Structure 1
Amino acid sequence: MPDHDAAAPARSGIDRRALAARIDHTLLRPEATVAEVLDQAAIAVSTGCASVCVQPAMVAAVVGAVGDRIPVCSVVGFPHGASLSRSKADEAAAVVALGAAEVDVVADLGALADGDLAAVAADVAAVREAVPNVVLKVILESALWSPAVLRQACEAVVGAGADYVKTSTGFHPAGGASVDAVAVMRDAVGDRARVKASGGIRNTAAALAAIDAGADRLGLSATVAVLDGLA
């Protein structure tokens, strides 16, 4: 998401509490320590975020620390999406067994590049079958695709059971979220699914722009700065 002036006026008319309630506060650096992750989980709780999103290896520690005060989200097939579908399904089941209530899985990006939408859908369906009762968000790396391909990807994964379509991991060199991509995704899924914008959203104006474009949820590591910038 391109940087904007953090003091720019919000078009969304959202207050601090409502904005926090849309945020998955995220720490996914692979070298993050348990202490760092637990510190961020405490911030997510204190600010009233929608969830705290962590790597699979951190789920048990975070669930133990936060209890039922906030949902814990974890990532699957992250960050490349190139794992076998059965591996993604097993990983999703494992993090849910540890207490994760939400799963963000990276789509099969290679299959999407090949135009094999059936394979993209089957990959997501395998994860959905493994974790039928949790919120499932599918990461599409929106910066890689034309609007037409992004729309097709949204259709495929929603048809396979995704609750959310998500822009980005934040780790791909192609880039993160953009207002245009969020708008395409919002239009593609309509009211059948929700949209999560993630990747490169570092200030308040960028967060609000994503919401105005149609994002229901935001994946942020800069949560405190974004909330502090809200007038």
Structure 2
Amino acid sequence: MAESAKRVIKVHPDDNVAIVVEVGGLAEGEVLNGDLVVTAAIPQGHKVALADILIDEPVVRYAEVIGTAVTAISRGDHVNEENVRLPEAPSLDDLPLATRPVTKQEPLDGYTFEGYRNPDGSVGTRNVLGITTSVQCVAGTVDYVVSRIKQELLPRFPNVDYVVGLNHSYGCGVAINAPAAIVPIRTLKNITHNPNFGNEVMVIGLGCEKLQPSTLIDDQPVRIGGLNDQAQRY
């Protein structure tokens, strides 16, 4: 049996399965991490058992129980829908709150990357112009603007990596002051906060929509200026 390089990902230390990431998957008989023998061919993206799992014992991924074993699963077996019983989904009325505290991770030390520091202190890894809309009716206009910018402006600004249109299907005859309207509005705002957009906001609208452009930028300073000039190392 041939020893294989590490080609699986164990997402969390408490997991008893790992994800096969090797293109083409793993072959029967391959040996992982020195002593884990693959008992059957496992396709890419599927799970391999890292420990023996008895009948009705939990299958754990992301430190969460994703199912229970229908049959005994041996270390190195292919874990799939044939040997795992999925848990019954709770009703929407009974969804529990996520109360488990998140473990604080130690900061990385000794690593650097090239990035763009924005005026709000965030750092992006790209310098992208994002154009969003206040209403779905201008999606065609945004697509046309993005196409023209790619052809005519980007070649003149080598410090700008790309331009994207952030189209959506919201904003026209909606109950803009309804209690739940904050959810889509907050979502659209948060998309524009992506640090790769350089903390600049560009919104295209018609003026007749319920969701006015000012609503999308009322918590951000409106400035006249371009994106970052050059990358720095952080």
Length-normalised TM-score, structure 1: 0.25
Give the structure with the larger strand fraction. Answer: 2
Which structure is higher in RCO with an 8 Å CA cutoff and minimum separation 6?
A: 1
Question: Which protein is bigger by CA-based radius of gyration?
Answer: 2
Give the structure with the larger helix fraction. Answer: 1
Length-normalised TM-score, structure 2: 0.25
